[in-house]
A and B are shown apart, each in its own frame.
Chain A
Amino acid sequence: DTEVTQTPKHLVMGMTNKKSLKCEQHMGHRAMYWYKQKAKKPPELMFVYSYEKLSINESVPSRFSPECPNSSLLNLHLHALQPEDSALYLCASSQDAKDAYEQYFGPGTRLTVT
């Protein structure tokens, strides 16, 4: 199994809603990542988890809250988002954060904030 899965595929939420994005991998990878991608732009790193501990937070606003319940799962909790947060949110994983360079991406969640 070389797949990273993400749910939901699409999400529309209001600015007062609370929602969560989910990511799962069963490749035994110990590093997991959240990226945000706007149209015609490269993916921008948001968070890195290494061995279930948060190792990088790219100064992401607190309305985005990551969680890594175990080595296979990664969540992104969303609350009080703004319309400019509308984007494709990508999850990725790699064998580890230190020595493995190839990251494997999920299909993404297309988020629209109204």
Chain B
Amino acid sequence: DQQVKQNSPSLSVQEGRISILNCDYTNSMFDYFLWYKKYPAEGPTFLISISSIKDKNEDGRFTVFLNKSAKHLSLHIVPSQPGDSAVYFCARRGSTLGRLYFGRGTQLTVWP
């Protein structure tokens, strides 16, 4: 049961431009979403999160938007930097203690 879906396996963006990573979810019984970034040979790093009581959460260059009617969230990175090149996973908190459901990830490549 894929609770969160990332339909784009890859995204390529020029440095300085905006990167928009998308995630759809299928179950309305949620309250919390998270974005993680993963470099090769490293563990995922927590980036930013959003609660269902909000539509937007911002942290520096990273902003997450939540559209509850469309069951869609997106991560905006602006301006994009080459160091942002990584795999980005969206995740939602499950109803069971401690469980996170991850999407399949989107490989972001930021080129100079």
Contacts and interface: CB of A to CB of B under 8 A. Distances in A.
A73 to B, nearest CB: 17
B43 A92 contact: yes
A45 interface: yes
Nearest to B46: A102
A71 interface: no
A20 B22 CA distance: 38
B65 interface: no
Interface stretch (B13-21, B67-75, B78-86, B89-97): B89-97
Interface SS of A by simple majority:
strand
A104 B46 contact: yes
Contacts of B45: 105
B98 A55 contact: yes
B96 A41 contact: no
B43 A90 contact: yes
A30 to B, nearest CB: 11
Contacts of B97: 48, 50, 55-56, 97-98
A102 B34 contact: yes
A31 B98 contact: yes
Contact of A48 (B32, B99, B105): B99
Interface stretch (A11-19, A59-67, A76-84, A106-114): A106-114
B98 A42 contact: no
Interface of B: 32, 34, 36, 41-46, 49, 89, 93, 96-100, 102-105
Interface of A: 4, 6, 31, 33, 40-43, 45, 48, 50, 55-56, 90-92, 94, 97-98, 101-108, 110
